Amino acid sequence: MTTVIRNTRVIQTMDPVEVLNGVDVVIEDDKIKAVGKNAADGLKADKVIAGDGKTVIPGMICGHHHYYSGLSRAMLISAGPQTDLIQTLKEWWWRLDRAIDEESLYYSSLICTLDAIKNGTTTCIDHHESPNYIGGSLSTIAKGMERFGLRGIVAYGITDRNYGMKEIRDGVAEGIRFAKEVDDRKKKGEYVLCEAMVGGHAPFTIPEEGMEMLSDSARQTGRGMHLHVAEGEYDSVWSHHFYNQDIVDRLDRHGLLSDKTLLVHGIYLNEHEVDLLNERGCYLAHNPRSNMNNQVGYPKYLPKVKNLIMGTDGCGSNMFEECKIAFFKNRDAKGPYWPGDYMRALTNANRFLEKYFTGERFGRIEAGYKADITILDYNNPTPLVKENAAGHFIWGMSSNSVESVIINGRLVMENRTFDFDEKEIYAKAAEVAKKLWERTDRLPADGTSGINR
């Protein structure tokens, strides 16, 4: 299958920014074959996309999502006080995840996937928890992603907060099971769009035995860990109280820090911890909208993080919006970041992706790279050149500019339209969401704590 985008503007990479004008982009099967002026001349293409007045950019990556939140939008439930992070988790999210079943998770995955594609996001790295539907849950999420052609990485976040060590054992088993499922599909010669990680909820809900099991599952599967750390001060205090260690030192003691490790939030990490995660080559996902919504503060040492990527923590998958809000929050906090720094963070996520989709290259519109591409209908009222492209990204471009999306060489959305009736999916999702909310509303905030130390 050969696809050509004719005579278009290309932001070849987001860091360092390069802008090409009046070029053709030639895609053969799943990869970019050529980029340049008249590159498609004399070529017989199966699909030609008129690129006049359009801007082609590398597909964006949501570095931390919660697909189980897909049906929580404007959720109507009774909830008690939410004056700190732990109360918010107990009154809202921990009740929701206990109510999730296979049907609601599948429709959450479908809705999150459709939204991602509409927003120009071509990969979502998901972190999942559903304590009453653990076995098979990662396959359910992957099924929703792959149905519409989205690239993904999924992990189950082990925790003892509901059913003690049994919950941890079941979560570890699910992570290993799904990684084996992925590996088995690859051995059969199948190209797998959704990869596997191992995961944990947060250090304060994982005892030492759980950390050992998480470390062992990472070794068994050859994957890295996806884990929330220091989202609230409580997590750091807990680590000092029970283990007499900083969080990152505790993780390092268990051999859980590597260049395949994805840590999330890190608001209360200290300077030593940031230095250590940099030394180990770890990645950190910044989620400004979630941080502001949960009123947890702003990460003091964020500018020191070497491998910073952008996530949403379940607040959708709109990376245009996330980066804009990140920039303005940084300005309000008198931080040092400029628009180009957020484009750099988006680019960093491609290096992380390459560690899981081994042998592939992402994040650049250039021959040999994977054809994960977003086409924008963006009318710039001022000149757009490499020196100011980041400014256009923050101040002008938005998800409203997204016209078409190509993932792994497949045109998954063209002219803001899918090749199926999405209305039916949204209508069914609304029915499923109503049942999910009713189950959530019946659950107490304290749940079955199951803390087993």
Mean pLDDT of the region 34-62:
96
Least confident interval from 78-92, 166-180, 305-319:
78-92
Confidence category of residue 450, pLDDT binned at 50, 70, 90: very low
Q: How confident is the model at residue 452 (pLDDT cuts 50, 70, 90)?
A: very low
Band the pLDDT of 83: cuts 50, 70, 90: confident
Residues 147-165 have pLDDT tens digits of 999 999 999 999 999 999 9
Q: What are phi and psi of 22, to 5 degrees?
A: 65, 40
Which residues, in sequence order, are CB contacts of 106 under 8 Å at separation 6+?
A: 140, 143, 144
Neighbouring CB atoms inside 10 A of 166's CB total 14
> Could you say which DSSP state residue 23 is in?
E
Strand partners, 270: none
Which residue in 165, 164, 143 sits closest to 152, CA to CA? 143
Q: Report the percent of the chain where pLDDT is more than 70.
A: 98
In contact, 363 and 77? CB cutoff 8 Å? no
pTM exceeding 0.85: yes
Alpha helices, H only, 42-158:
85-88, 94-99, 102-118, 137-147
Q: Token match 């087993």: residue?
A: 452
CB of 328 closer than 8 Å to CB of 302? no
**DSSP for residue 164:** H
Name the pLDDT band for 449 (thresholds 50, 70, 90). Answer: very low
User: For the segment 352-364, what is each residue's pLDDT rounded down to a tens digit?
Assistant: 999 999 999 999 9
To the nearest whole number, what is the mean pLDDT of the chain?
Answer: 95
Tell me 401's DSSP state. Answer: G
Q: Are 176 and 183 in contact (CB under 8 A)?
A: no
Q: What is the β-pairing status of strands 17-28 and 31-36?
A: antiparallel
Q: What is the pLDDT of residue 79?
A: 82
Name the one residue in this structure whose structure tokens are 């010669």.
189
pLDDT digits 0-9 by tens, 90-120: 887 789 999 999 999 999 999 999 999 999 9
Tokens representing 212? Answer: 């050992």
Give the mean pLDDT of 33-37: 98
Angle among Cα 23, 365, 281 to the nearest 5 degrees reads 160
Asked if residues 363 and 401 have their Cβ atoms less than 8 Å apart, the reply is no
pLDDT surpassing 50 at residue 429? yes
Tokens 């990527």 belong to residue:
309
C-alpha radius of gyration, the chain, whole number: 21
For residue 160, the model assigns a pLDDT of: 95
> Which residue in 10, 7, 6 sits closest to 384, CA to CA?
10
Rounded to the nearest angstrom, the gap between the alpha carbon of residue 103 and the centroid of all alpha carbons in its chain is: 22
Coil, strand or helix at 243: helix
Q: Is the pLDDT of residue 400 over 80?
A: yes
237: pLDDT strictly greater than 70: yes
Angle subtended by helix axes 102-118 and 137-147, to nearest 10: 40
DSSP per residue, 330-376: HHHTT----HHHHHHHHHHHHHHHHHHSTT---S--STTSB--EEEE
pLDDT tens track for 181-204? 999 999 999 999 999 999 999 999
Q: How far apart are CA 71 and CA 120, in angstroms?
A: 20
**pLDDT reading at 277 higher than 90:** yes
Q: Say which residue the tokens 């989709």 belong to.
A: 357
Delineate the domains of the chain, giving CATH numbers in brackets: 2-59+361-413 (2.30.40.10), 60-356 (3.20.20.140)
pLDDT of 447 > 70? The answer is no
Mean pLDDT of 48-61: 97
By CB atoms closer than 10 A (0-12, 13-18, 19+), residue 87 is middle
Give the C-alpha separation, 347 to 327, whole Å. Answer: 16
Mean pLDDT over 28-43 rounds to 96
25/242 Cα distance (integer angstroms): 56
Identify the band that residue 82 occupies on the pLDDT scale cut at 50, 70 and 90.
confident
What number of CA atoms fall less than 13 Å from residue 296's CA on the CB side? 27
Mean pLDDT, residues 341-362: 97
Pairing of strands 194-196, 151-158: parallel
Structure token digits, residue 346: 């988006």
List of E strands, 162-223: 194-196, 198-200
Question: What mean pLDDT is predicted for residues 290-311?
Answer: 94
Q: Which two tokens stand for residue 49?
A: 């996309």
